[in-house]
């Protein structure tokens, strides 16, 4: 068809004046029709090709490049990119007086954008070997995660060696500042604590189930739960575990003091992590919120240093409510408190497969009719080595924990 069109075209231009008019007109018409047919064929070919490419994007192209396309296609969505100079001005060149704390991935500074907007800047440690493109790609994805129980990312800064994340500022700081302090702990009445537990569960469920990323937090702890002006909990530091892959991360996460008490046995010992690792940390968090005590490092009369052992012991003796922080006993709902303690104990069970997923946890927190399964023995380190020789050598507290675990596990 294409050749015929060319021939007719040549015919028209070269021979038009010599031949009869009707012949010329016939040539023009023929050429015109052929041209339209050609365009139609080209059109069909292009469309077929495009369809094939769409199929490839959906199925054949590896996940990574599919993710790359994801934010580039989003033309009306953009994450603000802050200039290093702006951040330096906002934080007074990372002045020590603006330092809010140190997370697992670097220090956090308070800053002021202009006169009004307060921000929190996380300056990521320079040890990460991550390139600028990879950093930006990950940050773009994290920034799209929006939930009322996650701290909102406002923007980022990637300049030279510097990688920074800019978050909304949380006026009431982190949960641990309230929880483990006698004076401020009173400010968290039962309703507030219950609201915080539910909020964290919702935020975690969102991270775990979001089809785009499926983030496992890996460092859930009281100091990573920030509180907004109405004391709503917001999980922070999510997604950074994904950004920082490789050995540095693992080292860093393990080095953070205080995190140890939140790590599930399989993660602490074998480095295995899953959504159930987060469930374990969440269980510890529930028990800490209810008791106002840290899992590790705080002396608890007979079971010093380990809140899980203490909670388990009280629960097995039918004294679960004794776990509740004395400073909130006036505002407590017994049914809710017992239900929360039970959910907490279910989350910290030794075997990951016994622990509920966050979707179940959210349902369990809502159901107050005590129809939950009975928790099995929690996973805490002193009892993991089950040999009798070790228990006789260890200090009284872990010996009593061992004793407890043996009698109760065998009795059930």
Ligand X SMILES: *[C@@H]1O[C@H](CO)[C@@H](O)[C@H](O)[C@H]1NC(C)=O
Give the distance between the most distant pair of CA atoms in the chain: 117
Q: For tokens 């920030």, what's the residue?
A: 226
Structural tokens at position 236: 């922070």
Q: To which residue do tokens 């050429």 refer?
A: 31
Q: Which of 61, 88, 112, 250 binds ligand X (CB under 6 A)?
A: 88
| Catalytic position from the list 219, 237, 278, 325 | 219
Query: Of 25 and 187, which CB lies nearer to ligand X in the complex structure?
Result: 187
Pick one of 54, 65, 69, 93: the residue that binds ligand X (CB under 6 A).
Answer: 93
Size of the site for ligand X (CB under 6 A): 7
Among 187, 269, 335, 367, binds ligand X (CB under 6 A): 187
Nearest residue (CB) to ligand X, 88 versus 136: 88
Q: In angstroms, rounded to a whole number, what is the distance separating the alpha carbons of residues 48 and 53?
A: 9
The answer to whether residue 210 is catalytic is no
Cα–Cα distance measured from residue 204 to residue 220, given in angstroms and rounded to the nearest whole number:
9
Joined tokens for residue 351: 């075997």
Find all residues with CB under 8 Å of 218, minimum gap 6, and list them.
241, 253, 267, 273, 277, 278
Range 128-157, binding ligand X (CB under 6 A): none
Query: If you ran DSSP here, which 8-state letter would residue 370 be given?
Result: S
Nearer to ligand X, 141 or 328 (CB): 328
Q: Which is nearer to ligand X, 171 or 373 (CB)?
A: 171
Q: Which is nearer to ligand X, 154 or 196 (CB)?
A: 196
Please report whether residue 84 would count as binding ligand X according to CB under 6 A.
Answer: no
Selected binder of ligand X within 125, 172, 232, 274 (CB under 6 A): 172
| Of the candidate residues 21, 72, 97, 229, the single one contacting ligand X (CB under 6 A) | 229
In the complex, minimum distance from the CB of residue 235 to ligand X, in angstroms, rounded to a whole number: 18
Whether residue 368 contacts residue 337, with contact meaning beta carbons closer than 8 Å, is answered with no
Which residues ranging from 319 to 358 are in contact with ligand X (CB under 6 A)? none
Q: Identify the CA nearest to 328 among candidates 202, 195, 225, 234.
A: 195
The answer to whether residues 99 and 173 touch, using CB atoms and an 8 Å cutoff, is no
Q: Which residues are catalytic?
A: 219
Chain residues that interact with ligand X, rule: CB under 6 A:
88, 93, 171-172, 187, 229, 231
């Amino acid at each position: 068809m294409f050749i015929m069109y060319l021939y007719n075209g040549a015919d028209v231009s070269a021979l038009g004046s010599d031949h009869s008019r009707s012949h010329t007109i016939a040539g023009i018409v023929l050429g015109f029709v052929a041209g339209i047919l050609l365009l139609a064929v080209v059109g069909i070919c292009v469309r077929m090709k495009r369809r094939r490419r769409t199929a490839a994007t959906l199925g054949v192209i590896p996940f990574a490049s599919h993710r790359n396309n994801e934010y580039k296609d989003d033309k009306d969505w953009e994450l603000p990119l802050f200039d290093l100079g702006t951040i330096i001005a906002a934080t007074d060149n990372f002045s020590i007086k603006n330092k809010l704390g140190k997370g697992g991935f670097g220090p956090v500074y308070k800053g002021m954008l202009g006169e009004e907007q307060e921000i929190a800047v996380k300056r990521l440690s320079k040890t990460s070997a991550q390139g600028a493109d990879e950093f930006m790609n990950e940050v773009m994805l994290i920034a799209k995660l929006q939930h009322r129980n996650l701290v909102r990312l406002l923007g980022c800064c990637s300049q030279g060696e510097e990688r920074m994340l800019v978050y909304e500022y949380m006026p009431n700081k982190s949960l641990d500042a309230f929880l483990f302090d006698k004076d401020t702990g009173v400010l968290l009445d039962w309703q507030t604590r219950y609201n915080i537990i539910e909020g964290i569960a919702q935020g975690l469920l969102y991270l775990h189930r979001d089809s785009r990323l499926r983030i496992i937090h890996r460092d859930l702890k009281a100091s990573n739960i920030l509180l907004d002006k109405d004391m709503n909990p917001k999980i922070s530091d999510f997604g950074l575990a994904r950004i920082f892959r490789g050995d540095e991360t693992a080292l860093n996460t393990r080095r953070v003091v205080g995190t140890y008490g939140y790590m599930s046995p399989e993660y602490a010992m074998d480095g295995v992590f899953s959504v159930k690792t987060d469930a374990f940390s969440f269980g510890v968090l529930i028990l800490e919120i209810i008791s106002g005590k840290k899992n590790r490092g705080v002396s608890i009369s007979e079971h010093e240093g380990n809140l899980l052992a203490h909670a388990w012991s009280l629960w097995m003796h039918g004294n679960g409510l004794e776990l509740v922080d004395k400073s909130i006993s006036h505002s407590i709902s017994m049914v809710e408190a017992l239900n929360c303690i039970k959910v907490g104990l279910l989350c910290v069970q030794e075997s990951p497969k016994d622990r509920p997923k966050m979707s179940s946890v959210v349902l369990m927190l809502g159901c107050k009719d005590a129809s939950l399964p009975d928790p099995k023995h929690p996973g805490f380190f002193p009892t993991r080595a089950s040999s009798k020789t070790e228990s006789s050598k260890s200090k009284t507290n872990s010996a009593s924990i061992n004793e407890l675990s043996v009698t109760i596990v065998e009795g059930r």
